[in-house]
């Protein structure tokens, strides 16, 4: 009966406009949501429990504002909701975030952790593998399929030459891409359960930061539209998409 954890993060809605005020992003008027890939991780964690039993704990890191994503997780059926935070913390770097999460995971005796393949704010993809390393566990990232076995899981990982059907024994951290499952939706009864649920708050000792955020700045302006006459210019456009736009 595994102790299953899922890491969920509160991020600005992916449609939100991100404003810069002074030298920092100004998130005061954005709508907040659970990071989209985390919804797939949450679904995978629920599927794991349905297959192998155990309990699912949703964990987030942040201020009390982040309780909403935990309530969202509770509304679709997780057993426990835990927030890791200390009021003395601010602007945590990856090293600090992972240390804090690892401290909570150890306290909860977790055996398998699910997370999204990246968070919609930083897009860094650091937390899953970083947490695994600190726990001394296996990790698999960007999975697009999963089957549950007695002592582990079998996942599908996209590689250049095809998809690798990969066996992972537990304990492990599994970071999830979208597409392999349809995240379940809450219902009114789940929401009423969430209303009554208590968020457990855990603290942690964390190291000092080794990076300094100098500033946030707006992205470079796109050049205004260019129009070319004739198919002979296709190579020029392809080169621009590669080198200027960085989209291929």
Partner 1 sequence: MVYEALDFYDIESECTEEEIMVRDMVRDWVDEEVIPNIEAACREGRFPEEWGKALGEMGVLGMTIDEKYGCAGMSYVAYGLVCQELERGDSGLRSFASVQGSLAMFPISAFGSEEQKMHYLPKMASGEWIGCFGLTEPDYGSNPGDMITKASDQGDHYLLNGAKMWITNGTVADVAVVWAKLDGVIRGFIVEKNDPGFSAPEMTGKHSLKASVTSELVFQDCKIPKDRMLPSVKGLKGPFSCLNNARFGISWGAIGSAQACFHSAKEYALSRIQFDHPIASYQLVQNKLSWMLREITKGQLLALNLGRKKDAGTWIPEQISLAKMNNVDMALEIARMARDIHGANGILDEYPIMRHMANLESVKTYEGTHDIHNLIIGRWITGIQSFTRTL
Partner 2 sequence: MTEIIVIAETKDGIISPVTSELVSAAIVLGGNPTVIVPGVNDTAATSGAAISGVSKVIACVGEQFSNYDAAAWASAIDACAPAGVIICAATQNGKDLGSRLAARRAVSVVQDVVAIDGGVLTSPIYSGKAMQNVSLQGDAVVSIRANTFSPSSDGGNAEISVMNQSADLKTAVREMIAKASERLDVAEADIIISGGRGMQDPANFAHLERVADTLGAAVGASRAAVDAWEDISHGMQVGQTGKTVNPSLYIAVGISGAIQHLAGMRTSKYIVAINKDAEAPIFQHADYGIVATWQDALPILESELKALLG
Runs of H (alpha helix) within 112-204: 127-135, 188-196
**Residue 188: contacted member of partner 2, partner 1, none (CB under 5 to 8 Å, by partner type):** partner 1
Q: Is 111 in the site for partner 2 (CB under 8 A)?
A: no
Whole-angstrom Cα distance, residue 173 to residue 4? 10
Q: Is 71 in the site for partner 1 (CB under 8 A)?
A: yes
Q: Is 81 in the site for partner 1 (CB under 8 A)?
A: no
Contact 8, 41 (CB under 8 A): yes
Q: Which is nearer to partner 1, 129 or 186 (CB)?
A: 186
| Residues numbered 136-195 forming contacts with partner 2, rule: CB under 8 A | 137-142, 154, 156, 158-169, 172, 178-179
Contact 80, 201 (CB under 8 A): no
Q: Is 192 in the site for partner 1 (CB under 8 A)?
A: yes
| Residues numbered 156-185 forming contacts with partner 1, rule: CB under 8 A | 185
Contact 153, 147 (CB under 8 A): yes
Size of the site for partner 2 (CB under 8 A): 86
**From residue 210, how far is each of 95, 96, 101, 213 by CA, in Å?**
8, 9, 18, 10
Interface ranges with partner 1 (CB under 8 A): 15, 68, 71-72, 75, 185-189, 191-192, 194-195
């Amino acid at each position: 009966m595994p102790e299953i954890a899922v890491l969920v993060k509160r991020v600005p809605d992916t449609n939100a406009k991100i404003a810069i005020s002074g030298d920092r992003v100004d998130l005061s008027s954005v709508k907040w949501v659970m990071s989209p890939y985390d919804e797939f991780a949450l679904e995978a964690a629920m599927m794991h429990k349905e297959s192998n039993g155990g309990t699912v704990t949703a964990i987030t890191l942040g201020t009390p504002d982040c309780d909403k994503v935990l309530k969202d997780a509770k509304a679709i059926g997780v057993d426990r909701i835990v927030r890791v935070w200390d009021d003395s913390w601010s602007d945590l770097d990856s090293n600090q975030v992972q240390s804090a999460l690892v401290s909570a995971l150890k306290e909860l005796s977790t055996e398998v952790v699910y997370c999204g393949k990246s968070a919609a704010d930083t897009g860094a993809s650091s937390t899953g593998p970083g947490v695994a390393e600190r726990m001394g566990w296996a990790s698999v990232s960007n999975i697009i399929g999963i089957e549950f076995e007695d002592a582990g899981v079998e996942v599908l990982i996209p590689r250049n030459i095809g998809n690798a059907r990969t066996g992972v024994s537990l304990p492990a951290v599994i970071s999830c891409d979208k597409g392999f499952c349809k995240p379940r939706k809450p219902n009114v009864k789940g929401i009423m359960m969430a209303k009554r649920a208590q968020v457990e708050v855990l603290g942690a000792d964390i190291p000092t930061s080794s990076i300094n955020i100098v500033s946030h700045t707006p992205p470079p302006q796109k050049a205004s539209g260019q129009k070319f006459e004739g198919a002979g210019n296709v190579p020029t456009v392809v080169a621009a998409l590669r080198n200027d736009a960085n989209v291929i």
